[in-house]
Amino acid sequence: MEVILKKSVEGLGIPGDVLKVADGYARNYLLPMQLAVHATERNRRYLEHQKRVIDHQESKDKELAQEIASQITGVTCTLKRRAGENDRLFGSVTSMDVAEALRAQGFELERRFLELADPIRELGVFMVPVKLHTDVVIELRVVVERDE
């Protein structure tokens, strides 16, 4: 039986794939769990329409991400924190702290876009990757200074 996957199924495929599977597997698992639909002509046309809609939305999202990236490029985010000997911070600087500092500068950016692998625990200059879109990644300069 031919089916079109609606959701990702491990070991089988990703949404949109048209697959030939055993009748029992489709009838007893894929169709009742709403992981797939029959590969009829109507469903194929609907799938193509959905792909066009998704591609159009994806291109709009990418343009918006590029516009935001052009605004943020060259921005330096400066944070002041208390530090002890050897320039070690009391606490750390997280992506939430960086997002709040950007918000104070007038940039609305969610912290999930900031790909800070580990919290910053010392004074210095750090380059934090900002992933606005799968194809749009920029580097944000974060400066952590000693608070007097």
Q: Which residues pair with 31 in a beta bridge?
A: none
Which fold does the domain 69-146 belong to in CATH? Answer: Ribosomal Protein L9; domain 2 (3.10.430)
Q: Is the pLDDT of residue 148 over 90?
A: no
Q: What is the DSSP letter of 147?
A: -
Q: What is the pTM of this model?
A: 0.68
Per-residue pLDDT band for 51 (boundaries 50, 70, 90) equals confident
- In CATH terms, the fold of domain 2-58 is Ribosomal Protein L9; domain 1 (3.40.5)
Q: Tokens 């608070």 sit at which residue? A: 147
- HSE (CB half, 13 Å, CA atoms) of 40? 5
**CATH 3.10.430.100: which residues of the chain?**
69-146
Put residue 106 in one of left, alpha, beta given phi > 0 → left and psi -120 to 50 → alpha. Answer: left
pLDDT in tens, 97-144: 999 999 999 988 888 999 998 999 999 999 999 999 888 999 999 999
- What is the structure's pLDDT at 134? 85
Q: Where in the sequence of the chain do the CATH 3.40.5.10 domains occur?
A: 2-58
How many Cα neighbours within 13 Å face the side chain of 101? 20
pLDDT at 54: 85
Question: What average pLDDT is seen over the chain?
Answer: 91
